[in-house]
Amino acid sequence: MEGLMLSVLSLKEKLISRIRAKEADIGIIGVGYVGLPLALHFLEAGFSVTGFDIDSEKVNRLNKGESYIRHIPSSRLIRFIRLKNSRGFVATTDMGRISEMDAILICVPTPLTNKREPDMQYIENTGKDIAKNLRVGQLISVESTTYPGTTRELLLPLFESDGLEVGKDFYLIYSPEREDPGNKKYNTKTIPKVVGGITKDCLEVGVALYSSIVEEVVSVSTTEVAEATKLLENIYRAVNIALVNELKTLFDRMGIDIWEVIEAAKTKPFGFQTFFPGPGLGGHCIPIDPFYLTWKAREYDFSTRFIELAGEINTNMPYYVVQKTIDALNERGRSIKNARILLLGLAYKKDVDDLRESPSLRLIELLEEKGAIVDYNDPYIPKAPKTRRHRIEKHSVELTVENVSRYDCVVISTDHTEYDPDFILKHSNLVIDTRNLIKNYGDYPEKVKRA
């Protein structure tokens, strides 16, 4: 037994030693909005990184040093592109190379199915790829947001299927991503990293890994606690956004400006945190993650009523915006059918090129279903790419006086900093503002409708 314990400790200490010496090879599966920033922080800390992705076009661009994410400049990546037999960065579609890695970080999507149930195909397929190539002495970290129990119940059996033992032959942790694309105040390095391990040794190795690239690591007792932490963070935001969205619709009927109410309420120095209404929820986390817990709760015969109600309110916001648009056009004697509408902002939030779950996509679909002719402008998205659920085959329209003035209505869905409210107000025929971009109506109060 003593000899076995020494063997176990030497394996763990060897891996920790490689991590602390920056000699560990890091593999990141899924080099997207989460995986690419993570790769860059490991590279900038002195590690060698291999990015794994099933998208060959993405892989080819990354190997040329091209960042496909607007807020991540290519200059950060290109200096790390790996030359033959050198260290640095390389991207690949070859999952067989997983066996070469010391640490494997899973950053793949976890979307919902059409029935609002967890779509675990990306996690499962990744787990199977790792299991095929797993070797003694590796660390696996799951970063993808998921329901409590995924790491232990879904992935661990795959990795132990060939007789390897967790905490002895390999190490398994869960450490939720906390990326906020475009946030200039907080990044991967400065956001505290929560880590939970299947065993204490797993946790120790995980803490060593993340301590090498972030300023603070927060250890928790289990992978389930770490998984639940990420869900709580996003459910908190989803519920509070739903609250202000519901109040927006109520105050609109009462003739009260929700934006003025929020500005007044946030002067209270305690007990109030500001949330803003909008045309719906976007991004990969807040519209999706709460339903992972809702789904898991059914296993315990528990109804998550707050989460479900918040989801219902937020999902209905695009319909509210469309109805406000129809009403505003009717006031001017214009039908929604064949009305020309310009939607400003395709991204889910300001100043990024990220359109994952963007409510703008649903707005375009709903308006076109009503017979409107819809174009969009987004300075960050010149062409709308295909997504898992949407096929918006359009190009961004240039914002010129001539272009803006020829539309019956302009719908502000994303408040990009580049949008000049005075220009939009002056040259539009009608504006539906879902983001409070236009705060001063000046000489054109009749042109603007809040939604």
List residues with catalytic annotation: 285
Q: Under a CB-based contact definition with an 8 Å cutoff, are residues 276 and 248 in contact?
A: no
Q: C-alpha 268: how far from its chain's center?
A: 31
Tokens linked to 325 = 């648009």
Cα–Cα distances in Å, from 145 out to 96, 124, 271?
Answer: 25, 13, 29
Q: Which residues contact 67 (CB under 8 A, 6 or more apart)?
A: 36, 73, 74, 76, 77
d(CA 106, CA 125): 11
Q: Output phi, psi for 92, to 5 deg.
A: -155, 155
Q: What residues contact 198, with CB distance under 8 A and at least 6 apart?
A: 151, 152, 156, 166, 167, 171, 172, 173, 223
Structure-token pair, residue 441: 């109506």
CA atoms within 13 A on the CB side of 134: 25
Residue 363 CA to residue 367 CA, distance in Å, equals 6
- Which among 191, 192, 139, 113 is positioned nearest to 15, based on CA atoms? 139
Task: Answer left, alpha or beta for residue 109, where phi above 0 means left and psi between -120 and 50 means alpha.
Answer: beta
Q: From CA 37, how far away is CA 177, in angstroms rounded?
A: 11
> Which helix (H) or strand (E) segment is 340 a member of?
strand 340-344
Count of alpha carbons within 13 angstroms of residue 358, beta-carbon side: 29
Task: Cite the beta strand spans of 193-253 per DSSP E.
Answer: 193-197, 217-220
- Strand partners for 48: 25
Please compute, for residue 445, the number of CA atoms within 13 A of its CA located in the half-sphere on the CB side: 0
